[in-house]
Structure 1
Amino acid sequence: MRLDRFLWFARIVKTRAIAQGMAASGHLRIDGRAVDKPAALVRIGSVVAFATPSGRVRALRVAMLPQRRGPPEEGRACYDDLLENARSERASVDAADARA
């Protein structure tokens, strides 16, 4: 699936034009390699990394390829947020250490 369509279908960005701009800017990475075109292919298992306008870094593993731009829950099911999972695991370990 094209990168710009995946970002839009999975509801990571609001419009496909924004997704195309992100890809064309060269600030996106797929499996560690820089991408400079919206038509770059994304597959199940690919890791897409980018910085948000707020400066936060996101790393997403593609879990499934969406067939349409559906409701937000359907979009979130298409990827696993790798950094968010790491943050929540670190917080639970820190909480357990604080109790000990």
Structure 2
Amino acid sequence: MRVFRPVVVALAGLAFATTLSVGEAFAAKGSFIWLGPHGKSYLVENPPNGRCLTMGQQARGARNATKTPAVLFPGKKCKGRPVPLAPGQQAPRSAPFSSVRFG
């Protein structure tokens, strides 16, 4: 019984470490930056891949400083004609968007 407990603790620790590294794989590494109201800059660090991020207010001039392609959408909830934004690419300052998805 004394050997069983350390083995269970070690396996649980291994499972936790694996979960952390897998979770990090589903994030776009880097920053996504955009301009909000009054030209104020906003950013998201390591945004999640595959999820639609809807902007809560006016957004324009997106810069994709992640290592993952992003897709900008004119409508909320990733609706409308998609506009791709490659890693390191910046949209024009005047280009508005309402939502974005990575990956």
TM bucket by the smaller chain?
A: under 0.3
TM-score by length of 2: 0.27
Computing the radius of gyration from Cα coordinates, the structure with the larger value is 2
Q: Which structure shows the higher strand fraction? A: 2
- State the TM-score, normalized to the length of structure 1: 0.28
